[in-house]
């Protein structure tokens, strides 16, 4: 019994240490919403925990291809959307559970089919999420992010997998 409790305590400590890692990287897949239309989104991200409760993260977000979306003055246009972002990431660790928020800037490209429309701007983004350490430095979780754009925001829900290197 003592060995089992000791093993569980050590797993909890290693999970907490992994959540506050010096360097991490991960991927996510999910669903994005723009103007009531949905698309499959994908993300690759990397970051660092500069202090126990705050980190920095950068990533590339492919929001997906939206069919027949109403955006600004355009009615029923097909759009592709992607962003590169940089965010500050405050966090809280509760044993193997890692809760976090994100706030930052993103540079986005919104393209219509056959180059009928192009919008590339810099705007704000924010989000929340949770990760759970399932095996050493490997965590899985879910997040919700909002990427502000000129006419309408893209809202994204995704499932994440992250590996904590140091």
Q: Which residues pair with 147 in a beta bridge?
A: 125, 154
What's the pLDDT score for residue 11? 42
What's the pLDDT score for residue 146? 98
pTM of the model: 0.84
Residues of the chain with pLDDT under 50: 1-19
What's the pLDDT score for residue 123? 98
What's the pLDDT score for residue 77? 87
Tokens encoding 116: 């009928």
CA dist., res. 35 & res. 86, Å (int): 24
What's the pLDDT score for residue 72? 80
CA dist., res. 25 & res. 6, Å (int): 29
What's the pLDDT score for residue 166? 78
| CA atoms 120, 55, 146, 61: torsion sign | positive
């Amino acid at each position: 019994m003592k060995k089992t409790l000791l093993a569980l305590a050590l797993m909890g400590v290693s999970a907490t240490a992994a959540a506050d890692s010096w360097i991490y990287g991960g991927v996510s897949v999910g669903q994005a919403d723009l103007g009531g239309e949905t698309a499959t989104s994908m993300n690759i991200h990397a970051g660092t925990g500069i202090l126990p409760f705050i980190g920095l993260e950068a990533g590339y977000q492919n929001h997906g291809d939206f069919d027949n979306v109403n955006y600004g003055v355009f009615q029923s246009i097909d759009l592709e959307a992607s962003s590169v972002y940089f965010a500050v990431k405050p966090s809280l660790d509760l044993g193997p559970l890692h809760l976090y928020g994100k706030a930052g800037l993103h540079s986005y490209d919104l393209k219509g089919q056959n180059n009928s429309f192009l919008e590339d701007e810099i705007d704000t983004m924010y989000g929340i999420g949770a990760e759970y350490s399932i095996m050493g430095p490997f965590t899985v979780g879910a997040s919700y992010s909002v990427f502000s754009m000129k006419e309408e925001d893209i809202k994204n829900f995704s499932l994440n997998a992250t590996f904590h290197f140091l």
